[in-house]
Amino acid sequence: MRVTTLGDLLLDVIVQTDEPLVTGDDRPATTLMGAGGQAANVAAWVAALGGSARFVGKRGDDAAGELAAAELRGHRVEVVGPVEGRTGVVVSIAAAGERTMASDRGSAPELSADELEAEWFDCDVLHISGYSLQREPIASAAARAAELARASGARVSVDLSTWSAIDDAFRVRVRALAPDIVFAGERERDTFGALETDWIVKRGAEGVLAAGEKHGAVATQVVDATGAGDAFAAGFLVGNVELGLEAAARCCAKLGAMP
């Protein structure tokens, strides 16, 4: 299975603490820094699960970009796309069972359609992060990528990513893509509304809903749920629901979103 993902390659900084943070005070924590971004995460898990993965996106010509790209290549992912500007950073704070994220996407949203190469989209599936459909010019790049991928016979999948960014412009862009598969949380699906597609609804600890059938989550000791949805999407695209649920459990059992 050859999967190309389009979206962000960022530097993730994960902070985990057993107690809530206190303004103006200090808390002991476990931290991890490495490559991240939804599209990058999916690509890494595709490769880890036996598929062939390529990531397409814009990253900065800086130390953060070099670190993130090197780590992603270390997961056997082909990394392509323009290198300019500033690499984004996401800080994820997991405190007392709750997760809060602060996201700086850097130059990733500046990817434009004319920067794409047709050969990047010679694949079986093109997976587009919903963050890529929130603003221009990357939204137009995603639309062009879908055209190129379909010209090579690929299916197109989209992850809605976050319910709070779903507005009318986002709905128009998703519907114009006519995705074959849409991954979404329950709130994301309900916020988006009607769409003719194969919905794969992620339900956290309760598993997923696929083709109208409920599938329970694989039991695991949860260390960090960051990236579990991305791991599931990769497993689903490479194999099936069961492989996706196994990958999500693996992801939850460790700190960080990468395999």
What CATH number is attached to the domain comprising 236? 3.40.1190.20
**Lowest mean pLDDT: which of 38-42, 118-122, 208-212, 231-235?**
208-212
164 is in which domain, residue-wise? 2-8+37-83+106-252
**Which whole number is the average pLDDT over 155-164?**
96
Indicate the length of the chain as a whole number: 259
Answer yes or no: is 22 within a domain: no
For the chain, the domain total comes to 1
Strand partners, 94: 16, 99
Structure tokens at 132: 């890529």
Answer yes or no: is 218 within a domain: yes
Give the model confidence (pLDDT) of 216-257 as tens digits: 999 999 887 888 999 999 999 999 999 999 999 999 999 888
Residue whose tokens read 């990047």: 120
Answer yes or no: is 182 within a domain: yes
Q: What is the pLDDT of residue 96?
A: 66
Answer yes or no: is 98 within a domain: no
Answer yes or no: is 91 within a domain: no
Answer yes or no: is 29 within a domain: no
Answer yes or no: is 23 within a domain: no
Answer yes or no: is 25 within a domain: no
Q: What is the pLDDT of residue 97?
A: 62
Highest mean pLDDT among 93-102, 166-175, 210-219: 166-175
Q: What is the pLDDT of residue 255?
A: 83
**Lowest mean pLDDT: which of 59-68, 109-118, 218-227?**
218-227
* Rounded-to-integer distance, Cα 112 and Cα 225, Å: 32
- Contact residues for 138 (Cβ-Cβ < 8 A; gap 6+): 58, 108, 109, 110, 111, 112, 132
